[in-house]
Structure 1
Amino acid sequence: MKHISIHWFRKGLRLHDNPALLAAMTDCRKLYPIFILDPWFPKNMRVSVNRWRFLVESLKDLDESLQKLNSRLFVVRGRPTEIFPVLFKEWKVTRLTFEIDTEPYSRQRDSEVVRLAAEHGIQVIQKVSNTLYDTDRVIAENNGKVPLTYVRLQTLLAALGPPKRPVPAPTLENLKDCHTPCKDNHDAEYGIPTLEELGQDPEQAGPRLYPGGESEALCRLDLHMNRMAWVCNFQKPQTEPNSLNPSTTVLSPYIKFGCLSVRTFWWRLAEIYQGRKHTNPPVSLHGQLLWREFFYTAGAGIPNFNKMEGNPVCVQVDWDNNPEHLRAWSEGRTGYPFIDAIMTQLRTEGWIHHLARHAVACFLTRGDLWISWEQGQKVRHVARGSAEMVGGLQDLHG
């Protein structure tokens, strides 16, 4: 008997290289692609209107792509642990699929959802595609310990071999025996949220420099991959932090939201490198993806990685507590022109160059203000997940 499947979109907001989505479509007669607006995130992730706009645009693009497959995206409001029992019964679900997420909150949430699915007799399929490798396997290969240096991670990954190749995007053929039941009031009940619904003022959004969505991500990837000489010669320390136009790819927001598959990016680079002289990790573009992998692996295996207390690899510092200095830093009014310009750009555009990020992070912490990086990551206009944190400051880029 064919399944009634829910595919739960979270970070992987794309159709290409989405093995969990393909698993949902296999031997399936009804498919419900869903995204859950979890109230935990607006309450605990202090991010700007720019990031919310990026998410809304990504969901719209995903819904449009699903419509081309005669399907739709169902945006459901509520806590996953409360929503799923209702959906399981209402839709008579037999299978749930989703991409593995290694973030601390996500792991706790997902384990509870898996338990609920088991209580309802529902098959659960989880697939690795947010990272290049299965982080648990990498840690297991290191005798159950998190690799604490980039070089050690490289050694482990060399033994594991290259990342898996991306899987193809689904086509109408994948859904020939499957359909998505939609009501006439679909948009009213399951439509894409507005910024107002998310508690955001659209007037406060900065210029729309980086539209969200898989379509935009793939176009930008093609644009950069056509610059073969630039790709082969890329060295991250030699990019320009103060150029008016970004001197890096600005693909990381698309990777963070899963609009672009990191494995797709990796293998496109590998094709360009083949037979050509090119830079190598850690400074190459492959090297930048490995830095991402390094921090995701660390975040997956180190307790309290996004905090100082209870974090076994974090230096315990007696930070100053100065709310006025923190506000001045976050609002770009420290009196240091370079720092203030960077923070203004971050607030308005949602993106800053990696060297600029390091500069303001160092200014906040050990450089001048001696304020905890935990306070820095709470600043409202930052926009990236804790596992991708470098230097204590987060932004829409990387």
Structure 2
Amino acid sequence: MEAATAATAAMVWFRKGLRVHDNPALDAARRGAGRLYPVFVLDPLYLRPDPAAASPGSARAGVARVRFLLESLGDLDARLRRLGSRLLLLRARDDDVADAVCAALKDWNIDKLCFESDTEPYALARDKKVTDFAMASGIEVFAPVSHTLFVPAEIINKNGGRPPLTYQSFIAIAGEPPEPVLEEYSELPPVGDTGEYELLLVPTVEELGYGDISQEEIPPFRGGETEALRRMKESLQDKEWVAKFEKPKGDPSAFLKPATTVLSPYLKFGCLSSRYFYHCIQDVYRSVRKYTKPPVSLTGQLLWRDFFYTVSFGTPNFDQMKGNKICKQIPWSENEELFVAWRDGRTGYPWIDAIMIQLRKWGWMHHLARHSVACFLTRGDLFIHWEKGRDVFDRLLIDSDWAINNGNWLWLSCSSFFYQYHRIYSPVTFGKKYDPNGNYIRHFIPVLKDMPREYIYEPWTAPLSIQKKAKCIIGKDYPKPVVDHETASKECRKRMGEAYASSRLDSNPSKVKPSNLSRRKMSHGDQDASNSSVAKLLKTSRSE
């Protein structure tokens, strides 16, 4: 560790980036510091119990994600303690995280503040408040970008001030990401005097007051940097698997041993550095003769992540339909009864319901499972606004990420990026292709566990005698389908076609031809992309 001036006090403010490895903010804070204050502020916006929520947790986060965060904080504290430091856990002041940070900066006489830059709207407003206070107080501020491979603002600047709206154009601009910070520390500067501050222990989920959650299933994914690095190492040990990885070729019904790395939650919370992961994958590639390439490869998935971060950062109102220039304006239906049936896993379609129950219990499901339920809610069957589904995913997914979640919902609802609305996931045959026996359904919907294989995806077609033998009467023990898929999907296609036609007429009435409905004209100087090329990208999406 470098020689330090005893009077110099630095704060590293953790939010995401809950790790020690490849953490430029931590690295900068420790350099030249006589005292180091590693701080995390518990945010009531995400943690305060909400009795009115559809499932245990807060209004913004389900229990699974809260648990993952707390585990990650506990692991970070343990890793800091091994370096002679600790995590200083604070309460927000009057529900304001920024106020708590500003007060600590003043009370602890901090000379330098370091934190990882964040591009989400909520974070930008919070960070501006803290930065303005720090600079007005003569405190040095360093906020490096390390949550993504690239700096979104730099990509946008290279593209003439506009975000690239296709994966290909993004890749052409981005180049190779910078090297991670690989220096390992044997110790950190000691924690300075915190005065009268109440320093909290990392609470348990039970201590946060979410009511009786004793029956809540504990997800198989434990939070923290230690687990992230273990999972990454385990995944990369199988060099053949890494070399042949192709995102479309996963099994969405595999739950005991998921068909992906399941590193997305660790990337979301910054327990794992995307740059470090990227360069570790490159090390594997250098040791094999042949390997897959983006967009389907493992590195391709990290590039998809950065693509959505960049587009979201450069697109006003990215998280909504209205006022979003890259989003199709579609007159979605409002039907609370159908929406609740979808949210709660009570649509009567076992494949859809099992996925939503897995989401509710585990906070995670395979990317193709996400595709299925998103399509069903929006353009496939129910024609309900993608923002409604986005909010459910945002609350329940442990890997919920503002940029990627919104980007995926825009994509899967055919509101942006992908426009082949005629391609619809069947709520019956798609899952059956991967899991003909219905093991996935039997696990997450126990009432159907004795339903014969030939009826497991369509239990309403089973004769009453079969239903009785399986101890599951459709309409009583398990719901009847809320819609007829064949009829509903035809209606959805019709309404999507009308919305697209209306959108084109509104934007350029003199140039619209019926044949153009099957093509996407890319804005902001991007090249035209045919449906076939966009369809390939749909198969290779994006975040899980």
TM-score by length of 2: 0.69
The letter for the 2-side match of 1:165 is: E
CA gap of 1:56–1:227, structure 2 versus 1, over 3 A, is: same
- Offset of residue 127 of structure 1: 0.8
Unaligned runs of 5+ in 2: 49-57, 413-542
Aligned position for 2:440 = none
CA–CA separation in structure 1 for the residues paired with 2:190 and 2:320: 45
Counterpart amino acid of residue 146 in structure 1 = P
Whether 1:61 and 2:71 are equivalent positions in the alignment is no
* Greater mean deviation of Cα atoms: 274-283 or 264-273: 274-283
- Larger Rg over CA atoms: 2
- The corresponding residue for 2:374 is 361
Change (3 A) 1:125 1:183: closer
- What amino acid maps onto 2:216 in structure 1? A
* Alignment partner of 1:88 is 2:102: no
Counterparts of residues 188-203 of structure 1 (less than 5 Å): 189-201=199-211, 202-203=213-214
Shift in Å, 1:306? 1.1
CA distance in structure 2 between the aligned counterparts of 1:80 and 1:100, rounded to whole angstroms:
16
| Percent identical residues | 47
**Using the alignment, how far apart are the partners of 2:320 and 2:290 within structure 1?**
41
User: Secondary structure of 1:3's match?
Assistant: strand
Name the counterpart of 1:207: 218
Matching residue of 1:382: 397
Is the alpha carbon distance of 1:259 and 1:169 closer, same or farther for their aligned partners in structure 2, counting shifts above 3 Å?
farther
Contact 1:81 1:116 in 2 (8 A): no
Moved more, 74-83 or 5-14: 74-83
What secondary structure does 1:148 align onto?
coil
The Cα of 1:243 is off from its aligned counterpart by: 1.9
- Deviation digits for residues 116-155 of structure 1 (CA, Å, limit 9, x no counterpart): 1012111000111100001100000001100000000011
Match 1:15 to one of 8, 11, 20: 20
Counterparts of 2:217 and 2:182, CA distance in 1: 35
- Matched-pair contact (CA < 8 Å) for 1:362–1:391: no
Give yes or no for contact 2:65–2:363 (8 Å, CA) kept in 1.
Answer: yes
The 5-angstrom pairing of residues 169-180 of structure 1 reads 170-173=184-187, 175=188, 178-180=189-191
Helix, strand or coil: the match of 2:21?
A: coil
Of 282, 296, 300 in structure 1, the residue corresponding to residue 313 of structure 2 is 300
Q: Displacement, 1:170?
A: 4.4
| Alignment size in residue pairs | 389
Residue of structure 2 in register with 1:265 after alignment: 277
Give the secondary-structure state (helix, strand or coil) at the position aligned to 2:379.
helix
| Cα-to-partner distance string for 1:301-359 (whole Å, 9 max, x where unaligned) | 11111111111111111111111111110110101111011111111111111000000
- The residue aligned with 2:248 is 237
SS of corresponding position for 2:368: helix
Of 345, 351, 367, the match for 2:364: 351
Instruction: Give the letter for the 1:224 counterpart.
Output: S
Paired with 1:65 and 1:210, the residues of 2 have a C-alpha distance of 19
- Residue 217 of structure 2 contacts residue 361 of structure 2 at CA under 8 Å; is this kept in 1? yes
Q: Are residues 1:327 and 2:302 paired?
A: no
1:86, CA displacement in angstroms?
1.6
Q: 1:343 to 1:169 in 2, by over 3 A?
A: farther
Structure 2 CA distance for aligned equivalents of residues 103 and 183 of structure 1: 30
Once the two structures are superposed, residues 29-80 of structure 1 have per-residue CA deviations (whole angstroms, 9 ceiling, x without a partner) of 1100011112233479622100000000000000000000111101111123
Aligned match of 2:475: none
- Asked whether the equivalents of residues 8 and 34 of structure 1 are also in contact (C-alpha less than 8 Å), the reply is yes
Within 1, Cα distance between the matches of 2:314 and 2:174?
16
> 2-side partners of 1:214 and 1:316: how far apart?
41
CA distance in 2, matches of 1:299, 1:221: 27
Which residues of 2 match residues 22-101 of structure 1 at below 5 A?
A: 22-42=27-47, 46-78=60-92, 79-101=96-118
Contact 1:7–1:97 (Cα < 8 Å) also in 2: yes
Deviates more, 1:59-68 or 1:267-276: 267-276
Q: Which residue of 366, 370, 375 maps to 2:383?
A: 370
Shift of the 370–153 alpha-carbon distance from structure 1 to 2, 3 Å rule, reads: same
> 1:299 Cα deviation (Å)?
1.2
Q: Tell me the distance in 2 between the aligned counterparts of 1:357 and 1:255.
A: 18
Deviation at 1:184, TM superposition (A): 11
1:149 paired residue number: 166
Structure 1: gaps (5+ residues): none
Shift in CA distance, 163/391, structure 1 to aligned 2, threshold 3 Å: closer
Q: Is the 8 A contact 1:37 1:76 kept in 2?
A: yes
Higher relative contact order (CA 8 A, sep 6+): 1
- SS of the residue 2:334 aligns to: coil
Q: 1-side partners of 2:235 and 2:219: how far apart?
A: 20
Deviations 1:247-282 (A, max 9, x none): 110001001000000001100110111152000011
Partners of 2:101 and 2:302 in 1: CA distance: 34
| 1:119 equivalent among 136, 139, 144 | 136
Matches within 5 A, 1:221-236: 221-236=232-247
SS of 2:171 mapped into structure 1: helix
Amino acid in structure 2 at the alignment position of 1:135: P
Contact 2:45-2:60 within 8 A present in 1 as well: no
Other structure's SS at 1:136 match = helix
Contact 2:245 2:298 in 1 (8 A): yes
Q: Distance in 2 between matches of 1:169 and 1:322?
A: 54
CA contact (8 A) 1:142 1:156 kept: yes
Check the 8 A contact 1:8/1:96 in 2, yes or no.
yes
Contact 1:9 1:33 in 2 (8 A): yes
Root-mean-square deviation (CA), in Å?
A: 2.0
Shift of 1:172: 2.8
| Residues 184 and 140 of structure 1, relative CA distance in 2, 3 Å threshold | closer
Whether contact under 8 Å (1:88, 1:120) holds in the other structure is no
Alignment check: 8 A CA contact 1:164 1:263 kept? yes
